[in-house]
Amino acid sequence: MSLYIVATPIGNLEDITFRAVRILKEVDLIAAEDTRHSGILLKHYGITTPSTSFHSHSTDAKARALAEEMRNGKSMALITDAGTPGISDPAWTLIQAALAVDVPVIPIPGPAALLAALMGSGLPMNEFVYLGFIPAKKGRQTLFESVRDETRTTVLYESPHRLTKTLSQMEPILGPDRIIVLARELTKMHETFHRGTLGALLAQAKKQPFKGEMVLVVAPENFKLNDY
Ligand code: SAM
């Protein structure tokens, strides 16, 4: 009885560890955020383990039922649509449910968009803060003010259709000269890092909106372009 938390690729199917593939083959059941989406990965690696869905609309009762199955001896792997389960996705409730009935939780580390973005950003990464998704409505102003005063690199997730609005709201608060990196389509064919000032990035976004999956990496408040 165990719950393996298995990190899966964020775009490039090759980004999975040998251990992750072995665990996914060996467990009794795979709990996946979207079984159809994960089916592509599982098929690619010849993984025929049965799967069940566990997503943001799954109830606590479903989490408890799965945890009960594990307590009765089943081993399970938890995967989400991309990256490290639990990072801004619904995995956390199943981890909690497993621990509540003393099922060991075993991490199988691998990709996470926030780390890939940091790695390519060129910004200081010994210390950083990850703040998850920028809220769609409430709390944006307060969030941007905290990012303005942050002395460490800040990593945020944002959806493409809100990016221009977000940069427009950030500019007067953080100032047009704040260094920022937009990491798009990480590990995929069109992976791009846009590095520069907030003002320049906003001007570019206004000219032609950026598309694809994206991570924003904001430099510490005292970071200068020539520190780059
Ligand atoms: N658990 C995932 C992880 O480990 O990064 C994050 C899941 S969250 C639901 C999805 C968000 O992660 C996307 O909206 C985007 O901000 C970011 N993301 C995921 N894959 C990405 C990629 N290939 N390139 C850039 N950002 C990505």
Which is more confidently placed, 226 or 102? 102
Percentage of residues in the chain having pLDDT higher than 70 = 99
What are the helix (H) ranges across the chain?
Answer: 18-26, 35-44, 60-71, 92-100, 113-121, 140-148, 163-174, 198-207
Cα 122–Cα 124–Cα 126 angle in degrees, nearest 5: 130
Query: What is d(CA 8, CA 21) in angstroms, rounded to the nearest whole number?
Result: 9
87 Cα: distance to centroid of ligand 1 (angstroms) = 9
Residues of the chain with CATH 3.30.950.10: 113-227
User: Could you tell me which of 207, 202, 206 has the C-alpha nearest to residue 182?
Assistant: 202
Cβ of 186 closer than 6 Å to ligand 1, yes or no, is yes
The response to whether residue 179 sits with its C-beta less than 6 Å from ligand 1 reads: no
**pLDDT, tens only, 119-168:** 999 999 999 999 999 999 999 999 999 999 999 999 999 999 999 999 99
Placement of tokens 């910004």 in the chain = 123
Q: Among 220, 130, 125, 135, which Cα is nearest to 180's?
A: 220
* Contact (Cβ atoms closer than 8 angstroms) between residue 78 and residue 94: yes
Q: Rounded to the nearest whole angstrom, what is the distance from the C-alpha of residue 113 to the centroid of ligand 1?
A: 5
User: Would you state the CATH architecture of domain 113-227?
Assistant: 2-Layer Sandwich (3.30)
Q: Where in the chain is the domain with CATH 3.40.1010.10?
A: 2-108
Determine whether the shortest distance from the Cβ of 185 to ligand 1 is under 6 A.
yes
Ligand 1 centroid from CA 68, angstroms: 30
Q: Are 6 and 20 in contact (CB under 8 A)?
A: yes
Q: Tell me the mean pLDDT in the region 52-76.
A: 94
Q: Are 134 and 156 in contact (CB under 8 A)?
A: yes
Contact between 41 and 49 under an 8 Å Cβ cutoff? The reply is no
Interval 163-194: pLDDT, tens: 999 999 999 999 999 999 999 999 999 999 99
Q: Which CATH superfamily is domain 2-108 in?
A: Tetrapyrrole methylase, N-terminal domain (3.40.1010.10)
- In this structure, the residue with its CA closest to atom 8 of ligand 1 is 88
Query: Is residue 87 lining ligand 1, measured as CB closer than 6 Å?
Result: yes
Q: Is the shortest distance between the CB of 24 and ligand 1 below 6 Å?
A: no
| Position in ligand 1 atom list of the atom nearest CA 183 | 25
How confident is the model at residue 228, as a pLDDT? 56
Our answer on whether the CB atom of 80 is closer than 6 Å to any ligand 1 atom is yes
Give the number of other Cβ atoms within 10 Å of residue 163's Cβ: 21
Q: Which of 5-9, 28-32, 193-197, 221-225 has the lowest mean pLDDT?
A: 221-225
